[in-house]
Amino acid sequence: MVSATSPSSTAGRRVALLTLGCARNEVDSEELAARLNADGWQVTTDGEGADVVLVNTCGFVEKAKQDSIETLLAAADTGAKVVAAGCMAERYGRELADSLPEAGAVLSFDDYPDISARLNAVLAGEQVTAHTPRDRRELLPLTPVARHGSGVSVPGHAQTRPAGGDLVADEHTPAHLRPVLRHRLASGPVASLKLASGCDRRCAFCAIPAFRGAFVSRPPEELLAEAEWLARTGVRELVLVSENSTSYGKDLGDPRLLEKLLPQLAAVTGIVRVRASYLQPAETRPGLVETIATTPGVAAYFDLSFQHSSEPVLRRMRRFGSTARFLELLGSARDLAPAAGARSNFIVGFPGETRGDVDELVRFFSEARLDAIGMFDYSDEDGTEAAGLSGKVSAATIKRRYDRLSALADELCSQRAEERLGSTVEVLVDSIDGGLVEGRAEHQAPEVDGSTTLVAPEHGDVDLAALRPGDLVRATVTGTEGVDLLAVPVELISAAAGPPNGAR
């Protein structure tokens, strides 16, 4: 058993926190960073000179798992103590610890509240016994509304301060008085805000619910408090993340809670854009479509998890929909916001997929006018239903289909970008490097959907050299490079505030 440590015992110790995988993991890392910082650790994202390297691993697909292993091994080569946390560590536990002796410890989500003690134990040479993995869905009640207050550790849902006891807050506490357990590891005008964790869906190809657990929403007052805190650190755009954002509020007794929360987040002082992501098509109600498409300050952007469009394949995936239903959903959004952005991910080569199914997906691609398409070639995942399905598609056929559909997706998304030539877009400036001003329009989410480069106008009121990260600019699209846009700024809509004080 590892004993608790005081801040004085950790003073001056340096921990490097390396994050792999999705934006949800990034939020979890910032919770861990807050716990460690409060206990006196020097927290960095640079492994140079660190006493311990804490790797927040990804366990989604085989390539992500391999990246996690390589990162852990590379960290061990520096001579620092190495600790594995995150999804891969949770998913494999003792098995990972046995196969990776280079790691000083393999931690579970249950270790997060005591992360400082765990790292101190590793530095002291103590044995930290790895957990035996279990289905985390079984830790919470089957009924969603009974899940709150269960005491189960859910990353990103911290209910206690690292060294200060219970949070003194209830539903009546104003947002600006609520404590926030988060320490930003990156600067910049964009930050993710975790709506919820876990998932109650049973998609045949996905193992995430087994190691992330059942779906649990964060209370809206907690999210508003964190949004206000992020705004005070200089954040201008909030990206709402979860495993399934359209389920938000169902365990709080209000399945339409996201529709109510979005305008509240958009009204937070300093926030100029709120972006919802990870929408399930089968749960995307007309009211939510309208809220996203028409609310000022909310990006008219639809990140819809289609995965395929052939109805037989979707049924085998244990999902719902079809080409016709998905086109209708996209059409309903564009009826309200003709320039709305839309992106999705797709799996090619799922067991039982036929040439006809691929042709149906080609038809959907051709009619959907998506701004961005993510393609995945199917591979069996441990513990999933799909791994045991018959009708496996050969690796050669999967590659051939993947290459064909990827090329088509690139072509169609480039054409969609060209449709925006001459249009007016609102660009949030992300970075300025050597005079190159990069940002994103409403239809471009961070890192995955392309970007917009602002180019100097021949004349006008906007001085390109005076722009700063966080500025919101109205611009006219003048060129495209694949999915990326070139645009001339015509008006500064909202200037970023000065350098944030007390951001950490």
Tokens 């003194």 belong to which residue?
168
Report the binding-site residues. 22, 58, 87, 199, 203, 206
Among residues 419, 437, 457, the one where a domain terminates is 419
Q: Look at residue 43 and tell me whether its pLDDT is greater than 70.
A: yes
pLDDT category at 10 given cuts 50, 70, 90 is: low
Question: Using one digit for the tens of pLDDT, what is the confidence trace for 397-427?
Answer: 999 999 999 999 999 999 999 999 999 999 9
The CATH number of the domain where 482 resides is what? 2.40.50.140
Alpha carbon distances (Å) from 375 to 115, 228, 306 = 36, 35, 11
Contact 196, 245 (CB under 8 A): yes
Q: Give the Cα separation of 182 and 28 in Å (integer).
A: 9
Is residue 168 included in any domain, yes or no? Answer: no
Question: Using one digit for the tens of pLDDT, what is the confidence trace for 77-128?
Answer: 888 899 999 999 999 999 999 999 999 999 999 999 999 999 999 999 999 9
pLDDT category at 462 given cuts 50, 70, 90 is: confident
What's the average model confidence in pLDDT over 453-463?
83
Is residue 1 included in any domain, yes or no? Answer: no
Q: Look at residue 27 and tell me whether its pLDDT is greater than 60.
A: yes
Report the binding-site residues for [4Fe-4S] cluster. 22, 58, 87, 199, 203, 206
Q: Look at residue 383 and tell me whether its pLDDT is greater than 60.
A: yes
Is residue 500 included in any domain, yes or no? Answer: no
Mean model confidence pLDDT for the chain: 90
Structural domain count, the chain: 3
Q: Are 408 and 479 contained in the same domain?
A: no
Q: What is the pLDDT of residue 176?
A: 55
Query: What's the domain range around 392?
Result: 139-157+173-419
- Give me the phi and psi of 137, to 5 degrees please: -65, -25
Is residue 149 included in any domain, yes or no? Answer: yes
Q: Are 148 and 106 contained in the same domain?
A: no
The CATH number of the domain where 77 resides is what? 3.40.50.12160
pTM of the model: 0.90
Q: Give every CB contact of residue 213 below 8 A, 6+ residues apart in sequence.
A: 136, 137, 139, 140, 152, 154, 197, 198
Contact 53, 78 (CB under 8 A): yes
Q: Look at residue 12 and tell me whether its pLDDT is greater than 90.
A: no
Lowest mean pLDDT segment, chosen from 224-238, 250-264, 486-500: 486-500
pLDDT category at 177 given cuts 50, 70, 90 is: low
Q: Are 393 and 487 contained in the same domain?
A: no
- The SS3 of residue 489 is strand
Contact 1, 127 (CB under 8 A): no
Q: Are 260 and 395 contained in the same domain?
A: yes
Among residues 360, 394, 419, the one where a domain terminates is 419
Q: Are 260 and 354 contained in the same domain?
A: yes
Is residue 444 included in any domain, yes or no? Answer: yes
Q: What is the pLDDT of residue 156?
A: 75
Q: Are 432 and 398 contained in the same domain?
A: no
Q: Are 454 and 371 contained in the same domain?
A: no
